[in-house]
Structure 1
Amino acid sequence: MRILGAPLRYVQGPGAIDRLADEIAIVGGGPVAVVIDPVARDLLGARIAAQLPAARLLDFGGECTGAEIAARAAEAEDARLILGIGGGKAIDTAKGVAIERRLPVGIVPTIASNDSPTSHIAVVYTADHAVEGVRHLATNPHLVLVDTAVIAAAPRRFLAAGIGDAMSKPYELAGALAGGGLNFFGGQPTELTLAIVARARAILLADSHAAMAATAPDPAFERVVEAAVLLSGLAFESGGLSIAHSMVRGFSVVPQLSGLLHGEMVALGTLTQIAAGQGTPDELREMADFLGSLGLPTSFARLDVTEDAVFERIATVALTAPYAGNYHRPLAPQDLVRAMRMLDAEQRA
């Protein structure tokens, strides 16, 4: 079967937050419980209250753990829609609450640091910030609302991370296709998915530097945000993941790397995937130059990861990811260790 999943409704543009009440009415309405992180509450609390005066605001505690999800679910009371507002982990907590309560979810990201807003997946962590596993909504979010004025006001490190996350998708789709892996709906990618991945790559290569330099939403900024949030989200769910995201599981257990944003980890994972044999040395160098020009990490040594034992632990944990087999050949831990070492060798060359 060819399967594509997508949010019921996607809305993007400056001032979009002021359409929130109307958009929620379109997708079903009803009492709303809002999982919101502290930064988003300070930034948008008054505007959310004006749009949804009866909504219950549930404060996100800082990490998307099973305990955090259960606590917020207990506070949701009579809600008929869960809304997640903030960064990726607050969003995933809202998805977790919706899963526990069997309710639809709406997502309002305040940064464009990764492609989780459109997906039906919530990544759950342990209390010490290592990836524990994933949970799945029955459907994709009913609403994804992206206010690009809010996104533009955030530090550019977040947008760079979103670009790093999105830039993995051409390589991961190729890995999934070569390895015979299915997408996150248990199907093959559609022709639309292939077109989405190609368009996202073209936008990111053409417009990322202009978007990073923009002081307010402009056409290049809007295209890059859409590529990082919508196109990348559709690409990974309906295309499949590979080594780049498998590496994130390994990176998350190493203290020197655990403080990186998800998209920063994915950038390193993409380079590792290319270095493991998917691309030529020239392709590896070109991608490292592009990602590095956006301020994304391209070297393990610069992050104080140098010991063989640490590389081996990363590789061993990475290969436990369910999509680690989505590659053109089977990989052993030493293959990934050599690939990671290659990045540092390229930086010294």
Structure 2
Amino acid sequence: MRKAFISPSKYVQGENELLNLGYFIRTYGDSALLIAHPEDVERVKDKLDVTINKFNVTLVESGFHGECTRDEIKRLKELAREKKCSCTIGLGGGKAIDTAKCVAEGDALIIVPTIAATDAPTSHSAVIYTEEGAFEDYAYFKQSPSVVMIDTTVIANAPTRFLVSGMGDALSTYYEARATSRSFTKVNAGLPCGVHEGAAPVARGTKAALALAKLCYETLLEDGVNAKIACDSNQVTPALENIIETNILLSGLGFESGGLAAAHAIHNGLTVLPGTHHYFHGEKVAFSTIAQLVLENAPQAELNEVLEFCSAIGLPVCLADIGVNSITQEELLKVAQIACIPEESIHAMPFPITEEAVASAIAVADQIGREFKKSKGAL
């Protein structure tokens, strides 16, 4: 059986770690193309100035347009060549990070997230959008980022909602990796550069990936509540440090090398409902994880544990929590139809999938969440 595991060459996190950015630039040369939204640059400008002077490096600001499009990628590649940049830095949220991945194409890439809202920073893939902001394609590169560097002080001073959303994304990691392992489904770690998924040789997940995914879930339960409190107070504590590592590293390695299943597919289906558009990826994944547990008829104790965790940190447990106050059977089936398209990860579940079963799981998960909130006096 062919197995695969992929990870960044180096992951480092710590308080004021941005002050060491110049050190990592120096491992490649003396200049870097900085791909970042101007607001993110402004948030950390003092630290960038210090590291530039300390390590005598140059940051070439790119004037990033804010969207990962083919034209923007082409423009930034030309700028990097023109300025003879030694490496590429993606600083900020998902769009800047994905654009940096596309510009670097797997070489000399430093990723610096300023929020811990998703597990994308460690992966070797990116999402490309149209100029209008619609999904266009996935891109896969020959390796994961060279360096993923996290300044925990920056994360602590970002809005707590980002951290909580990251925990929602991380919440699905173990359950999806477990399903993928049971069904012997292929994982993204096996996808080579420049080859679309359908043409790639199949690789299964490793025991290491499943173990990391389980640790991801265990750390959420252990440190999630206290990490949220710390972020509310803009303080770096051991609990917050553990959750930052969980949201970014453990979840990132877990999803890419362990596999995705129903939760992320259901999330993708939910995006057709206009009410969900104002909610973060991880918030929708949290509810979708509950739907996956219903779909696979998970033990009641497991379902209750997830509901209690979501309630404790403020993650959604029902559709109303992600902007859907009512839903018709027709809408449920539309969500399920999108979640069940042939290329979706839902087919990693270790049993046959039907659109009707998925629609029913979403409806029941919603009702379970509503009844849970009612029992807590939240409705």
**TM-score category, normalised to shorter length:** over 0.9
Tell which deviates more after alignment, 173-182 or 70-79: 70-79
Task: Identify which of 302, 305, 317 aligns with 1:283.
Answer: 302
Q: Supply the distance in 2 between the matched residues of 1:275 and 1:106 (Cα, whole angstroms).
A: 39
Tell me the alpha carbon deviations over residues 281-335 of structure 1, each in whole angstroms, 9 at most, x when there is no partner.
Answer: 4432331231132121221134225123332222211223442210011212221
Q: Secondary structure at the match of 2:68?
A: coil
Quick check: 2:30–2:58 contact (8 Å CA) kept in 1? no
Quick check: 1:80–1:103 contact (8 Å CA) kept in 2? no
Quick check: 1:181–1:323 contact (8 Å CA) kept in 2? no
Quick check: 1:49–1:55 contact (8 Å CA) kept in 2? no
Q: For residues 28-177 of structure 1, what are the structure 2 equivalents within 5 Å?
A: 28-52=28-52, 53-77=57-81, 78-99=84-105, 103-127=107-131, 129-177=133-181
Matched, 1:347 2:366: no
Which residue number corresponds to residue 226 of structure 1? 245
Q: Supply the distance in 1 between the matched residues of 2:283 and 2:86 (Cα, whole angstroms).
A: 35
Note closer, same or farther for the CA distance 1:253–1:60 as it changes in structure 2 (3 Å cut). farther
Quick check: 2:183–2:348 contact (8 Å CA) kept in 1? yes
AA at the equivalent of 1:123 = V
Which residue number corresponds to residue 259 of structure 2? 240
Tell which deviates more after alignment, 151-160 or 176-185: 176-185
> What is the root-mean-square deviation of aligned Cα atoms in Å?
2.0
Note closer, same or farther for the CA distance 1:33–1:13 as it changes in structure 2 (3 Å cut). same
Note closer, same or farther for the CA distance 1:322–1:98 as it changes in structure 2 (3 Å cut). farther
AA at the equivalent of 1:343 = A
How far apart are residue 221 of structure 1 and its match? 1.0
Q: Supply the distance in 1 between the matched residues of 2:357 and 2:37 (Cα, whole angstroms).
A: 39
Tell me the alpha carbon deviations over residues 109-141 of structure 1, each in whole angstroms, 9 at most, x when there is no partner.
Answer: 000001111111112334555543321121010
Quick check: 1:39–1:86 contact (8 Å CA) kept in 2? no
AA at the equivalent of 1:34 = L
Which residue number corresponds to residue 5 of structure 2? 4
Runs of 4+ with deviation above 6 angstroms? none
AA at the equivalent of 1:209 = V
AA at the equivalent of 1:189 = G
How far apart are residue 194 of structure 1 and its match? 2.4
Q: For residues 199-214 of structure 1, what are the structure 2 equivalents within 5 Å?
A: 199-214=215-230
Quick check: 2:68–2:95 contact (8 Å CA) kept in 1? yes
**Could you list the runs of 5+ residues in structure 1 that have no partner in the other structure?**
none
Tell me the alpha carbon deviations over residues 36-60 of structure 1, each in whole angstroms, 9 at most, x when there is no partner.
Answer: 0232111013422442452211233
Note closer, same or farther for the CA distance 1:337–1:68 as it changes in structure 2 (3 Å cut). farther
Q: TM-score, length-normalised on structure 1?
A: 0.92
AA at the equivalent of 2:365 = L
How far apart are residue 104 of structure 1 and its match? 2.9
How far apart are residue 7 of structure 1 and its match? 0.7
Quick check: 1:130–1:253 contact (8 Å CA) kept in 2? no
Quick check: 2:31–2:86 contact (8 Å CA) kept in 1? yes
Q: How many residues align?
A: 346
AA at the equivalent of 1:314 = V
Q: Supply the distance in 2 between the matched residues of 1:312 and 1:67 (Cα, whole angstroms).
A: 36
Note closer, same or farther for the CA distance 1:309–1:126 as it changes in structure 2 (3 Å cut). farther
Which residue number corresponds to residue 319 of structure 1? 340
Matched, 1:307 2:308: no
Q: Supply the distance in 2 between the matched residues of 1:32 and 1:162 (Cα, whole angstroms).
A: 28
Identity %: 34
Q: Secondary structure at the match of 2:189?
A: coil
Q: Supply the distance in 2 between the matched residues of 1:159 and 1:319 (Cα, whole angstroms).
A: 29
Quick check: 1:9–1:144 contact (8 Å CA) kept in 2? yes
Q: Secondary structure at the match of 1:346?
A: helix
Which residue number corresponds to residue 23 of structure 1? 24
Q: Supply the distance in 2 between the matched residues of 1:334 and 1:125 (Cα, whole angstroms).
A: 31
Q: Secondary structure at the match of 1:144?
A: strand
Tell me the alpha carbon deviations over residues 54-100 of structure 1, each in whole angstroms, 9 at most, x when there is no partner.
Answer: 2211233333333433343343333231110001221112112223x
Note closer, same or farther for the CA distance 1:125–1:337 as it changes in structure 2 (3 Å cut). farther
Q: Supply the distance in 2 between the matched residues of 1:126 and 1:318 (Cα, whole angstroms).
A: 22
Quick check: 1:179–1:325 contact (8 Å CA) kept in 2? no
Note closer, same or farther for the CA distance 1:62–1:308 as it changes in structure 2 (3 Å cut). farther
**Could you list the runs of 5+ residues in structure 2 that have no partner in the other structure?**
191-202, 372-379
Tell which deviates more after alignment, 237-246 or 284-293: 284-293
Q: Supply the distance in 2 between the matched residues of 1:194 and 1:247 (Cα, whole angstroms).
A: 21
AA at the equivalent of 1:150 = V
Which residue number corresponds to residue 199 of structure 2? none
AA at the equivalent of 1:197 = A
Tell which deviates more after alignment, 270-279 or 155-164: 270-279
AA at the equivalent of 1:81 = C
Q: Supply the distance in 2 between the matched residues of 1:29 and 1:144 (Cα, whole angstroms).
A: 18
Q: Supply the distance in 1 between the matched residues of 2:305 and 2:134 (Cα, whole angstroms).
A: 31
Q: Supply the distance in 2 between the matched residues of 1:190 and 1:38 (Cα, whole angstroms).
A: 40
Q: TM-score, length-normalised on structure 2?
A: 0.85
Q: Secondary structure at the match of 1:2?
A: coil
